Structure 1
Amino acid sequence: MGPTLDGAAGGGKKRKRVPPGLADLHDDMLERVLARLPPASYLRLRGVSRRWRAAAESSTFRAACARVTARDPWFLMLDDPDHQDEQRPRYTAAAVVFDAAERAWARWRGAPGPQRPVAAAGGLLLYRDPGTGDLTVVNPLTGAAHALPPPPPPALTRALQAIAMYGAPYRVVLILGELPDLSTVAYDSSTDAWGEEAALSRKPEEEGGGGGGDGTVYFLSKSGDVVATTTQRSAARQYSSAVACGAGADAVAYFLSRSGTVVACDLARRAFAELPRILPAHHEHSVDVAACGGAAYAVVLSEFLDAASLRVWEFARGAWRQVAAMPPAMAHAFRGAKADVNCVGHGGRVMVCVSSSSSSASGCFMCDVRTNRWEELPRRQGGDGDGSTGFVAALSFEPRMEAAV
């Protein structure tokens, strides 16, 4: 029976029944209820009461969180140094996050110092210090952190192409070298150790390789000029990759080479392939790669004659096929804007960030690749009031209190 309010002494007034609340729940039931709150609420649990603070810090609460099978993702956007003002240090990790459950933007405190997030898996983020190359895994909800040991010395002397993170227990893979001489070195969290550096072999042409060919790949630089041979990605996404895990848990990491081609690295079979060009040479475009639903996609923003188009392509059975396209009325604003596209995927959705010098030709969009449904996300409030200028879509992850570093 719930608590009651007593009437006047000796009177015949009826007692009013007060419905039970969270304070009346046993600890285990309270933890089950709190575990189903939106993850953004976890950051405020400790300030409600001593009992809630104790629940938020208990191992049984994290076990209750683990029983929640799926959560809406957070999409992390990082500041683009190309848009930074003179008063902001070049490597300050300013960021904002879009909470898909709350459908709202929030400021991101991030890691202290110069570290930048470069990869994500489960509810964990991998940070890299651009000065030293040190790697640290962080659970952004709990603040727990683990500094990875340095990789074997040979890996420190090779150029870093991309960083991939996947699995549970998680693995971190560094993709090193210059095409076609690539190698990998992998860290396994279950042993807290790096393996030996392993060379990657090139896949035969019929298996999807051969993106180089005789032609030069042309693409749009950040300034909108057509350039060739090398591409300089935003410092916020310099080493980013998209990891697609198939039904057999085989992981393939996709990243953009410095020539603008999409490179697929089969991390289990230690093989790579440069995928064919989507658009012909001399065709101006901006391209990025994203992974969601176990598949990898290339998002291409291009112009032809008097029209702009933003399309999503999947590489399957040795060829690219279009799976989604932004409605022409939405893409029309990008015509002549010399815009740049950055994207990140999660589940069946791809978040696409379009950046240009014009706020009217910039914005963030969400695409459901299975239904080809597009929507423009609300603008981020604060600062210049714009939802994308100065930031690029960088990472997505499923916030999990129970994720262990």
Structure 2
Amino acid sequence: MANNNGRKRKCPPSPSLGSLHDDMLERVLARLPPASFFRLRAVCRRWRATSSSPTFLAACARVPARDPWFLMLADPDRPSPAVAFVAAERSWTHHCRATAATGSVSVPVAASGGLVLYRASYTGALAVANPLTGASRPLPPPPQQQGDLQAIAMYGGDSGAPYRVALFSGELPHLSMAVFDSSTNSWEGPVALARKPKSDSSDGDSSSPEQDSGDDTVYFLSKSGDVVATNMQRSASKQYSAVAVMTPSSSGDGHVATCCCYFLSSSGTIIACDVARRAFVELPRVLPVYHEYSIDVVACGAAAYAVVLSEHLDTASLRVWEFAGSGGEWRQVAAMPPAMSHGFYGKKADINCVGHGDRLMVCVSSAEANGCFMCDVSSNRWEELPKYVDGDGETTEFLAAFSFEPRLEIDI
């Protein structure tokens, strides 16, 4: 073997990202988690220029799915920078822009796909935004509806597809609905919603004596820890909270056949609205009326769940329930380990929840105890999220969250 005059043989240089063609580089960067890409944008001018390239955004659109981010909401009286929890990395990021073109102070009220819907606190104006890029645009003013606004739901908007916003107004049993369609940039309605008759309801018995008597009192826990009766008090971020569950077409062509929206009535019962049929049903209560508890409704995948924090026999329990329409009963699908939930006993805690895929985030808040927890509903695995510490070394307590899919390519 030749010794090359004592010199070591030089290995050919290994290929690097810098040697890739622009098209291939864009494909590689498009596969990065969005938080990583924001950090790597500072590597060089070429990578920074790539971020605004139309072909790079097209490569991002070809990525079928991304792990969700959770836009966290803190005390509105203590302004803080936008913070998101990155589920895949179990870390916090500031690469999130919580802004909206409403012309006044606004709060997020709904989310779907890669978009978040904001509502102006004083004017009620609505705007949709991509929290990853900060791009936003206002929606046309909605039509006038009878009665007070009860709930706002948003659905669609995946991978740049059209999205819809549904507003529900009125008091039971007189509810109405108005729907915004982004493909036409216009509102439909308002239309009155019919209560499903007992024989036609697969979602629940809306004519049971317990719900029609009007004599029952249900107790709920407010943010301040006070026990309030009958009329539930919600935080500004969850005041109009509703979730939408999309039902695939039975024909198997991938088209959506129906959309059902769920929200809490002023007395705490869950209302299920079939958007296509323009009908609603009031589901039976999860727990007996004499229990004190905090409740929220959440969508995970293609199912809606009720999350209930209650106290019984000197302990607290947090359980996830699914309504079995065929039997007309609630079925428990997950429960926080007692060692976790017992810490909220006697604290008069309130819960705000959000779901994405199989993930369920629960924000528990009270004057004495706070925490955010993540549950994998399919396996009933629970974990407490790490605390967020700001630049001043102070821990921020979050009251609620909205989930979205981080998508750079979505244009408003």
Counterpart-to-counterpart distance in 2, 1:213 and 1:354: 32
Aligned to 1:397: 404
* Counterparts of residues 43-192 of structure 1 (less than 5 Å): 43-44=38-39, 46-81=41-76, 84=77, 88=78, 95-107=82-94, 108-111=96-99, 114-152=105-143, 154-155=144-145, 158-167=147-156, 168-192=161-185
Q: Which runs of 5+ in 1 are unaligned?
A: 1-10
Instruction: Assess if the C-alpha contact under 8 Å between 2:225 and 2:367 holds in 1.
Output: no
Aligned to 2:365: 355
1:269 maps to amino acid: R
SS in 1 for 2:290: coil
Instruction: Assess if the C-alpha contact under 8 Å between 2:301 and 2:356 holds in 1.
Output: yes
TM norm structure 2: 0.87
User: In the TM superposition, what is the alpha-carbon distance from 1:109 to its structure 2 partner?
Assistant: 3.8
**Is the aligned partner of 1:331 residue 2:341?**
yes
Counterpart-to-counterpart distance in 2, 1:144 and 1:221: 34
Aligned to 1:344: 354
Counterpart-to-counterpart distance in 1, 2:217 and 2:55: 57
Instruction: Assess if the C-alpha contact under 8 Å between 2:223 and 2:365 holds in 1.
Output: no
Counterpart-to-counterpart distance in 1, 2:80 and 2:395: 18
1:259 maps to amino acid: S
Aligned to 1:25: 20
Instruction: Assess if the C-alpha contact under 8 Å between 2:97 and 2:131 holds in 1.
Output: no
Identity, % of aligned pairs? 63
User: In the TM superposition, what is the alpha-carbon distance from 1:354 to its structure 2 partner?
Assistant: 0.9
Instruction: Assess if the C-alpha contact under 8 Å between 1:216 and 1:228 holds in 2.
Output: yes
Counterpart-to-counterpart distance in 1, 2:105 and 2:80: 7
Counterpart-to-counterpart distance in 2, 1:268 and 1:162: 17
1:368 to 376, 399, 402: 376
Counterpart-to-counterpart distance in 2, 1:94 and 1:218: 34
Counterpart-to-counterpart distance in 2, 1:58 and 1:223: 48
User: In the TM superposition, what is the alpha-carbon distance from 1:19 to its structure 2 partner?
Assistant: 1.7
Moved beyond 6 Å, runs of 4+: none
1:80 maps to amino acid: D
| Shift in alpha-carbon separation, 1:244–1:384, aligned structure 2, 3 A | farther
Instruction: Assess if the C-alpha contact under 8 Å between 1:96 and 1:105 holds in 2.
Output: yes
Aligned residues: 381
Q: Which runs of 5+ in 2 are unaligned?
A: 1-5, 250-255
Instruction: Assess if the C-alpha contact under 8 Å between 2:218 and 2:292 holds in 1.
Output: no
Aligned to 2:293: 285
**Is the aligned partner of 1:203 residue 2:196?**
yes
Counterpart-to-counterpart distance in 1, 2:393 and 2:318: 26
Instruction: Assess if the C-alpha contact under 8 Å between 1:171 and 1:189 holds in 2.
Output: yes
Instruction: Assess if the C-alpha contact under 8 Å between 2:180 and 2:186 holds in 1.
Output: yes
Aligned to 1:7: none
1:243 maps to amino acid: A
